[in-house]
Amino acid sequence: MKMLMIICPENRRDEVQQLVARHDIHAYSELENVIGEGATGKRLGTHAWPQKSILIFTVAVAEKTDELLAALREYHKNLYPGEGLRAFTLPVESEV
């Protein structure tokens, strides 16, 4: 099992959710109003830096998360420069 964490601009939420669903992953959690700073700039939700991101994370078998990660790489190629889509996988050691 792996956890896949996806950080994307708020305006890309629906597209990313649809991409997750197309890969037969229907269980996920989402955090809104994610702020931070990275290689693609600041997303602080302020007057000077008005954008925010969302964080979508899911846990699935490694094969599914690897497939979705590959699809996210392809999706990222079609975004505008600096939009800031990032995805990370983490091993899941146990679950309840």
| 22-73: pLDDT as tens digits | 999 989 999 999 988 888 888 888 898 888 999 999 999 999 999 999 999 9
> 3-25: per-residue pLDDT in tens?
999 999 999 999 999 999 999 99
Closest CA to 75 of 10, 21, 19: 19
Is 0.75 surpassed by the pTM of this model? yes
Residue 85: CB atoms within 10 A of its CB come to: 18
